[in-house]
Structure 1
Amino acid sequence: MAQAETRFDCIVIGAGIAGASLAAELAPHQKVLLLERESQPGYHTTGRSAALFTETYGPPVIRALSRASAGFFHNPQSAYLDHPLLHPRDVVFIARDDQGDSLAHMQDELGDAVTRISAQAVADALPLVRPGYASGGLLDKSAADIDVNGLHQHYLKTFRAAGGVVETRAEVLGLTSGPDWEVSTSKGSFHAPVVVNAAGAWADEIAKLAGLSPAGLVPKRRTALIVSAPSGINPDPWPMTVDVDEEFYVKPDAGKLLISPADATPSAPCDAQPDEMDVAICIDRIETAFDLQIRRIESKWAGLRSFLPDGDPMACYDPAAPGFFWLAGQGGYGIQSAPALGRTAAALVMGQPIPEDIAAQGVTEQSLTRTRAGMAA
């Protein structure tokens, strides 16, 4: 690149859904560089998400951000989308007899967002559930499948159309603060007064490169498999099924079934791959709950979902480093909260208040800071 193209107003590290949504919101106002270590944006967690939009579960800040994102999901108003982002998908949380307390606790927590249903209603909604397995469940009729690639591409195309620059295969090798930040990468060095750390599972590693203490981010591996439905059965109209203690889930997927043991195994940041024990556990749990014999796995993968100590995300400047902004810790909710969190983070990067419609849902600047209660020092 020419020297003139190495200096920006803001450098965003990580082109997954977090970095892409923030960059798209910033680009109309600033000269922004989006750095991605892989050959394509979204290679890791974003590209491996089986995302569902629901306002009914997740930590409190996530629920507020999801409510604030609903308007965009239902009416995206994008020149780069020619189809809906959401496709309705009921969710049924099922419980065995020994999980009655968990079911009651979830019902208390979710309130009017879910409806208690009987064992017979579970069987009617989920034809493959083994007779006698489920004693009851909760029905969420507000959920929907998310077109993750469509959402991600909307942000990347919006970013580029506003003059944003994307550099792929640009692994960050060092960060040095001065009058500006210098970000050394495998494709050269870039400079900006503001650096946004949206590196997902690698966010603490990026902080260390900048000489900052980590935030206590814990990447956790989640495994998913695609298997065939029984011959002659189309599962696409069925709800997503989630064990009330999140020991597994099953989601229809283009005529097949996406299944997961809902594992959350701490992991170092890496190109996550399925562990054979997790695959075996998944098959055992699914075959125990459902009249389904899994003879062949059509595909399998794993992704990392990154959590901060209190489970809520962080979007704030680091108190120890002027110009270093954190956007991390979305856990398993980064896709469904991206529209509101991207707008919120962009406003905070520019020193502006949180947009009124998002603040109205209860999202505060303090709730996204590194110094909030429940966070590591």
Structure 2
Amino acid sequence: MLSPRGLLLVTAEPEQAAFEAERDQLGLEEIPLERARALWPILGDGVVRAAFSDETLDLDTDRLLQGFLREARAAGAEIVTGAPVTAIRRTGEGWRVETPKGAFSGGRLVNAAGAWADRVAAMAGLPPIGLRPLRRSMARIPAPMDPSAWPMVEGAGESWYMKPDAGALIVSPCDEDPMEPHDAWADDMVLAEGLARFEAHAAMEVTRLLASWAGLRSFAPDRRLVIGPDPLEPAFLWCAGQGGYGFQTACAASRLLAETAGGEGAGLEAGIAAALSPARFR
């Protein structure tokens, strides 16, 4: 599920304050540029400082998803896709959710609707918590050589990042543009600006894209996850606000949600359940 990757932080002259703050926050070791170039052979001449950690890992997201699906199906869950929710109503036994593929009923309703989570809450008669969907764009570009051993590379101040991907490179401008919930797509100008920032730190020119896409990363007002029963309606449970850390937090978040749904004490560190509870917005 996890494999070594490493994280290299680089900076050009105007970004040194942001570099130092991020280096310290992430616990990275500042390294000579010669070592940085050995780690990332296309390090550009504009880079003046670098920091590194070999403790950063790659997560096999497809394997994680398939594992969750197998566990869910083994427990009797039915996976229904292409079924947008059209109505939600409270019943004497719990909840009834209407979709074009039929109605589904249950004693508890878990709101894991991502960018649409506030809208789902409204359909259930509950006030929103103020989630903000923010677009994050990605470009996949050809690599000038085999990048499989390269670390993930990030520009100071999270102005861009790059990581190897199946023989190519994924580059993101690290955009956080507010959006209404929708099936997002990458903006050409945003990608171009991010790729220009990447080129300012790399000894390569981007001449074509292999692919591009975007997604919506949804944040609560305090940018923390929202997990657990809504105090206004305990049978309505939130699993939202993951931002850009849904995969990394999925195992612990699902465990916490299951424990709170079952009325058990949270098995995580004391105080985490309270810090992530939707009660902080009520």
TM-score, L = length of structure 1? 0.72
**Does 2:66 align with 1:153?**
yes
Aligned to 2:201: 289
**Does 2:282 align with 1:370?**
no
CA contact (8 A) 1:228 1:257 kept: yes
Question: Could you tell me how far apart the structure 2 residues matched to 1:310 and 1:102 are?
Answer: 22
More strand by share: 2
- Alignment partner for residue 329 of structure 1, among 236, 241, 250? 241
CA contact (8 A) 1:118 1:135 kept: no
- The offset of 1:155, in angstroms, is 0.4
- The offset of 1:128, in angstroms, is 0.9
**Does 2:78 align with 1:165?**
yes
SS in 2 for 1:322: strand
- The offset of 1:106, in angstroms, is 2.2
Aligned-residue sequence identity (percent) comes to 36
User: What is the total number of aligned residue pairs between the two structures?
Assistant: 281
Question: Could you tell me how far apart the structure 2 residues matched to 1:311 and 1:86 are?
Answer: 25
Letter in 1 for 2:254: G
CA contact (8 A) 1:90 1:142 kept: yes
SS in 1 for 2:200: helix
Aligned to 2:135: 221
**Does 2:52 align with 1:139?**
yes
Aligned to 1:278: 190
Q: String of CA shifts for 1:40-89, please: whole Å, max 9, x gaps.
A: xxxxxxxxxxxxxxxxxxxxxxxxxxxxxxxxxxxxxxxxxxxxx11210
Q: Is there any run of 5+ residues in structure 2 with no aligned partner, and where?
A: none
- The offset of 1:140, in angstroms, is 1.8
Runs of 4+ in 1 over 3 A off after TM superposition: none
Q: String of CA shifts for 1:116-139, please: whole Å, max 9, x gaps.
A: 2233332232211211x2221221
Question: Could you tell me how far apart the structure 2 residues matched to 1:144 and 1:364 are?
Answer: 24
Aligned to 1:242: 154
* Larger RCO (alpha carbons 8 Å, 6+ apart): 1
- The offset of 1:296, in angstroms, is 1.4
**Does 2:41 align with 1:127?**
yes
Aligned to 2:116: 202
Aligned to 1:44: none
TM-score, L = length of structure 2? 0.95
CA contact (8 A) 1:122 1:134 kept: no
**Does 2:83 align with 1:175?**
no
Question: Could you tell me how far apart the structure 1 residues matched to 2:200 and 2:26 are?
Answer: 27
SS in 1 for 2:30: strand
SS in 2 for 1:167: coil
Q: String of CA shifts for 1:82-109, please: whole Å, max 9, x gaps.
A: xxx1121011111222222222222332
Question: Could you tell me how far apart the structure 2 residues matched to 1:190 and 1:234 are?
Answer: 49
- The offset of 1:363, in angstroms, is 5.3
Aligned to 2:25: 109
- The offset of 1:196, in angstroms, is 0.3
Question: Could you tell me how far apart the structure 2 residues matched to 1:365 and 1:285 are?
Answer: 39
- Alignment partner for residue 185 of structure 1, among 93, 99, 116? 99
SS in 2 for 1:105: helix
Letter in 2 for 1:220: L
- The offset of 1:205, in angstroms, is 0.9
SS in 2 for 1:310: coil
- The offset of 1:188, in angstroms, is 1.7
Question: Could you tell me how far apart the structure 2 residues matched to 1:275 and 1:308 are?
Answer: 24
Aligned to 1:87: 3
Question: Could you tell me how far apart the structure 2 residues matched to 1:237 and 1:260 are?
Answer: 19
- The offset of 1:364, in angstroms, is 2.1
- Higher deviation after alignment, 116-125 or 179-188: 116-125
CA contact (8 A) 1:286 1:292 kept: no
Q: Is there any run of 5+ residues in structure 1 with no aligned partner, and where?
A: 1-84
Question: Could you tell me how far apart the structure 1 residues matched to 2:136 and 2:205 are?
Answer: 22
Letter in 1 for 2:99: T
CA contact (8 A) 2:140 2:171 kept: yes
Distance 1:296 1:148, change over 3 A: same
